[in-house]
Structure formats: structure tokens, C-alpha cells
Structure 1
């Protein structure tokens, strides 16, 4: 998807004493370029037509949601300014061009969460206290250790978030010293996965995630004759979340104030959401030649929640950003990410290192695939290139790989109670991936498998304890909305829900070099009826800005 056109930007006011250049793309109007800069006489941010070479950050935005299911955003910063100014400006320009989508996404997904009507509940008070204490601890570390690579990058991410929120509220003022983040502002967009676990750790009476609820499918496939290594990911999420932005950040950051070398992952392309400065899915193509992705494994052992503490921990979304920026290999990524484990948003991470892969060479070097798993109190990782070499693929589907993680998180007890649905080898997706991955020979066949849901006819999608037996959850790309509301199900994940596979992204050795990917947004309709808000049982759920019918085809995402 090309991004040749540039458009105008909303006028903002600011006290930021640096130059900003904003580009706003919107098809199909004729291109316009707007520049935002500080008038040195008045100190006010001024919007003018045309391009300025002295930008701190610029943003190029195209909204094609009705056409392709996606909107597209590029944010670029200039090396002529210090890292902190770049970070704040990057957040501000993103807010300038995506504020309408940010508002709609907030209404659809977060409106009312610990709002005025519910804040007096004990859970919301506990959540605010937890987030506030955690932010205070993180800021203390930044003040004490801000010259180190880890805490410098953490600070830049928080400055970007600060700029995003200030830009949205039209109250831009670059912080001269320590700054605060609103615990119930756009930080909640970043903490969606963390909060799912905090709800359990903080004893929320009504949990967001039902037992067994999956969050994503992933497949790494070595093509025959080693001619390519494909990396793919399906997000599983609530259907209200489908207002999406494909993003590319190009930030000119140094490793630290004491190390002027550029961060390895300074440029990143990723699937994301309005108001989110990381993916959340997660799926990233990095300038370090790493591709990082995950599926959620969760935690079903209540004894482990004691390890979830507000001090000594960095939330998963922030550790994710820091690791993506600093790491130049899978091993380095795992080492950085493992620090300050929060025990929240517990995932299996896969780090694919294209530096170690040579297409057509029948040798797979060690370091091509690193797999990390996190639960409260424990992080494990290792090089799994040998398994990729022996099996020809690595599949991930919300069940832990490492036995220590599997048992400690309570999966063994779930297998004893509910059977092989929770097992690593015999769960529906494990069997479907094992059977169908042999048919993958190119990009098209990879897309077909990642969008696969033939639950009405596929015997591997059957649930013996369910009535009816066929279940839309038991597929590579789930469609839980198709399960009957009056059915009977042994646990919550198998019920009718407004939840399923909401997208597909994939890249290859060649595509990753240009930060390119194939992507499709919306629930699969390849073997099942398309999802349509107006005819679904969930038509009354808020879905501002959504197309009514989701029948989009894959698009190739490219960048100029």
C-alpha cells in the first residue's frame, strides 16, 4: 500500500520550543503538505503550508479503513535534535493526525472502564494505586539511571506517550524535568494486555478474559529447499477493537546519552491501534533484521499472582518497546525483555533473526529462532532453531512450550480437568497446524492457513463436550460469534462471544527488508459467513468508525 500523497493537519497550540513538521495523508483529495514550527518571536507553534527541512517529527497518515480495512501512519524524527525532544514530538504529531480515530477507539473499547460510575469500586481504586506506584518507581529509576541504555529507552517511550496525550488535549508543553503520566489516560491503551492479568492479580470480581480464551495464533514456516522463512500472526481480540492502524516509526535515537550509536531497532513497522505507541498484537519488523511476535499464554495458577508487585517491575508493553529498540539478536532481545518481569501480559515470544538466514542455503544457523515465555515470577528462553530445522515450522497458539512454565502456570491441572484441549500436542490448533502446514509452499498458501476456519466440517474443530459439537473457536482464526448462544459449553472460551481472529499479518525474508508485509483486517470469511455488525448478535455494541461488513482481502503494505 503506497503512501505517496500528503495532506493537511489540524492546528495545534504549543509551548514546545522546537520545530515540528506534520504531514497528513487522506485519499483521494489532492495532496497538501502542512508544516508546524515555532515562531521564534512569539514562541507559539504555527501551522503553514509547505514542507520545512528543520522538522523534529513529521507524520504521514492515510485512512483507508472503508477501502482496505486499514489506516496507515508513518512517523519520522530528525537526528538534529536530542532524543527527548524527538520522542515528545513523535507522540504529538501522531495525535495531530489520528485524534479522530483515537477518540472513536476509546469510545469503542475503554469508555466506562474505571470511569466515574465505576471508580468507587475497590478494584478501580486498587488498579489506580498499583499503576501510580509503578509509574513512580519507574520514574525513580529513570532519574537515577537515565544514562543507561535500558532506562534511557524507557524514558523516551514515556515521553512519546506524554506527547501523544498532550497533543490530543491541545496542551503541549515539553517537560523540563520529571513528568507525570495520567494512570487512566492513554496509558490504558498501552496496558490492555497487562490489565487483563492485573484484573486477576487485584481480585476484580468480573474478569475480562474467560477461562481458556485464546489471544492470537502464530506460525513460522521454513519453505521447502530453504528458499524462504515466512513469519505470520493472527490477532485474536474483541470485535470492538478492529479500528486499526498499520504503523511505521523511524526514530533517530541514540543507544543512551553516553553512547551516540543509533539503536539497532530505530525503525519498526507494526500492526497497531489508535492511541497505541506499540503493537499490542504483537507483530514487529525491525531495522535490526529481527521480527518479533507473541501469543498470550496467560496464567491459571492463582498462587503466582503474589509475584505481581508495583515496584521492581516494568509493565510488559514498555519492556517490549525497550527490547525491540536495543536488541541486535534474539538472545539480546530475550536478555533485555527478561529484566524487571511484571508478571502481566504473559506471553510466548518468538524472535526471528533474519541476519542468520540465507535463502536457498540448506543450513539453518543457530540463532534464527529464539523462544521466550513469561509468567509471574519466571521467564525462560532458549534457541529453538533446531526444532524449526527438524519440523520445518514453529506454531504458537496460547499454550506454553516449556514444561516448567506449563506446569507452574496451571496448565497441567486444566488438562486433568478439561482434557487435551489445553495440551501442547493435542489441542485443536496444535493438530490443525501440524496437519496443514505441510501444504504451505508460498505466500498464498501461508495466508490461507492463517485465515483457516472450517469448523463445521473439520473433525479437529469438534468439541465432544459441547452442544453442538462444531465450535468456531477451534480454528487457526477463531469465529466465536458463530457459536450458538443457547449451546452448552464446558468453559468460557467456547461460548458465543464477540471475539475471534481479527486480522492476519505475515512477512518474508525479502519483504522484511523493506518493512513490508501482507495484511488483512477483520474476522475470516474464507470458509464461513462474513461478520456483519448490523446482522450480528452484537449490533448494539459500540463500534464507531467500523465498516458494517468485514470482507476485506489481503493487501501488501509497502512504504515509500
Structure 2
């Protein structure tokens, strides 16, 4: 997605075209379109790993997946889509975004966040970290337990129990999730600044810990051990050399030390 800040003036009407473009691609196929009208109509554009354009949706197999597995794979109807639609209006500036990013639902605060990015006419461009899957109505599924940590804006597949039952594997205990947050607004963008936070989401969910991480690296070379003419394959644990055990980092504002306009 491309947002041309040169064509955006805070508190002024949006231009008819040329402000916002979205491009999606597959090998051999590229589709792009000016979606300024979308921002004019809805005030935001959500992105959540489901293609927007019909041609890309067809070629990538999402139509078939939607028919087979339901709204989880349907643009505008997936859990993330419904959370965006419900909560996007709650962000008005970078500070409210930061406060809401730290959201804990048990404190009765509303929250908005985005897995990949969201563009707001309220001068915000961001990715974010919302996941309160045990309490959010849109994280429910026909599963046991009856919800999935993959159905949050910032997915945490590691939190789903390994012995749970799910409608399909991607809803369950998987080595998958969102890894960071990035947010900016008009004033920050002019200075090429942004707000960032590293690591899987935490707050309303426990922080990620390598010491409790139970997945193995299936891509690593298996070690063959010959014992009594039997080959035993020993899978390697995921390497994390140099990492801290607990990933519980706060946000930081990223700024240039030199004058970029000098």
C-alpha cells in the first residue's frame, strides 16, 4: 500500500484520487488500483493477509478456501476484518494509539490495532498488536477451547493448547504469529519518524518466552542415529542464539540523529 502524504492535509477534505494505492501480486500477476475512494467512504483501509482484489483472490485459492472453511478466509468477514470494523474509530492520534496498543480488556478500555497496517484519515498509519482472544467475540470458533489466538489482530498461535481441537490446523497450536508493531502519523512522517515495538504481542496475553516454546525446526537437518539397524530422526529445536528468554519490550520512538532535510 502507498499513501502519498504530499496529497494529504489534516482536517481538510481528501482529494478525489491519487492519495492511496493498493498493489497485490502473485508470480506472474500484479493488480493495483487507486483506492482513495475507500478512504473517503470508510476512513480506513484494513489489511489482514487476505487479498482484496478479486483476481488475486481467485488465483491464490482464497475463494475455494472460503467455501471450504468459511469466513476465516473471506475479505471483510474474517475475525480480523470484523475487529477492524468494530474498533477502528477508537484511534484518533498517535498517543491514543499507543495507549490502546497496551490494551487489556479486563480494564474495560476499547482498543484498535492492526496486524499488517491500517491507514486512517485521523492522521494515523500503523500496524498493531491487539489480541484478547479468550474474551473477544470475534475470536470464537467451533473449537475446544472455543476460541483461537490466531483470531486476533496480532496472532499468537503458540498460545493455543497443543491438545486442543480446531476446525483446521491453522487455527490451532502453530508456530506462527505477529512479530512487531510500527505506527506513524503526519507530523512524524514528515521527519521520517515512527513508533515501534518488537516481539510477539503481550499485555492481555503472556509475553513470549523461549523457555516455554515447544516447537521444533522442521526445516533443520535431521540427525540420523543408527541403533540396532533402526534410524531415529531427531528434530532440532528452533535456534535462538543471542535472544533474551522473555520478549517483553515496550514501544520506542525511532528518530534520525541527523537533520534529514539539511
TM range (shorter): 0.7 to 0.9
Corresponding residue number in structure 1 for 2:87 = 436
CA separation in 1, counterparts of 2:97 and 2:88?
8
Corresponding residue number in structure 1 for 2:23 = 372
Match of residue 63, structure 2, among 412, 423, 427? 412
Q: C-alpha displacement at 1:484, in angstroms?
A: 0.5
**Residue 544 of structure 1 pairs with residue 221 of structure 2:** no
CA separation in 2, counterparts of 1:432 and 1:393?
13
**Residue 451 of structure 1 pairs with residue 129 of structure 2:** yes
Corresponding residue number in structure 2 for 1:463 = 141
**Residue 479 of structure 1 pairs with residue 176 of structure 2:** no
Q: In the alignment, is the contact (CA less than 8 A) between 1:399 and 1:423 conserved in 2?
A: yes
Name the TM-score, length of structure 2 as normaliser: 0.76
Q: Secondary structure at the match of 1:471?
A: coil
Q: C-alpha displacement at 1:365, in angstroms?
A: 4.8
Q: C-alpha displacement at 1:538, in angstroms?
A: 4.2
Q: Secondary structure at the match of 1:499?
A: coil
Question: Pairwise CA RMSD of aligned residues?
Answer: 1.5
**Residue 502 of structure 1 pairs with residue 179 of structure 2:** yes
* CA-to-aligned-CA distance 1:169-216 (integer Å, 9 cap, x gap): xxxxxxxxxxxxxxxxxxxxxxxxxxxxxxxxxxxxxxxxxxxxxxxx
Corresponding residue number in structure 2 for 1:118 = none
Aligned length: 210
Q: In the alignment, is the contact (CA less than 8 A) between 1:506 and 1:517 conserved in 2?
A: yes
* C-alpha distance 440-529 of structure 1, shift in aligned 2 (>3 A): same
* CA-to-aligned-CA distance 1:10-46 (integer Å, 9 cap, x gap): xxxxxxxxxxxxxxxxxxxxxxxxxxxxxxxxxxxxx
Radius of gyration: which is bigger? Answer: 1
* CA-to-aligned-CA distance 1:248-295 (integer Å, 9 cap, x gap): xxxxxxxxxxxxxxxxxxxxxxxxxxxxxxxxxxxxxxxxxxxxxxxx
CA separation in 2, counterparts of 1:498 and 1:445?
31
* CA-to-aligned-CA distance 1:493-544 (integer Å, 9 cap, x gap): 2121232111001111111122210000011112111111113324942101
CA separation in 2, counterparts of 1:476 and 1:485?
21
CA separation in 1, counterparts of 2:96 and 2:190?
21
**Residue 559 of structure 1 pairs with residue 236 of structure 2:** no
Q: Secondary structure at the match of 2:81?
A: helix
**Residue 400 of structure 1 pairs with residue 57 of structure 2:** no
**Residue 512 of structure 1 pairs with residue 189 of structure 2:** yes
CA separation in 2, counterparts of 1:364 and 1:552?
39
Q: Pairwise mapping of residues 227-306 of structure 1 onto structure 2 (< 5 A)?
A: none
Q: In the alignment, is the contact (CA less than 8 A) between 1:524 and 1:530 conserved in 2?
A: yes
CA separation in 1, counterparts of 2:40 and 2:73?
26
Q: In the alignment, is the contact (CA less than 8 A) between 1:518 and 1:554 conserved in 2?
A: yes
CA separation in 2, counterparts of 1:408 and 1:497?
25
Unaligned 5+ residue runs, structure 2? 102-112, 114-127, 217-236, 258-262
Q: Secondary structure at the match of 2:249?
A: coil
Q: Pairwise mapping of residues 381-392 of structure 1 onto structure 2 (< 5 A)?
A: 381-392=32-43
Larger relative contact order (Cα-Cα within 8 Å, sequence gap ≥ 6): 1
Q: Secondary structure at the match of 2:33?
A: strand
CA separation in 2, counterparts of 1:524 and 1:557?
19
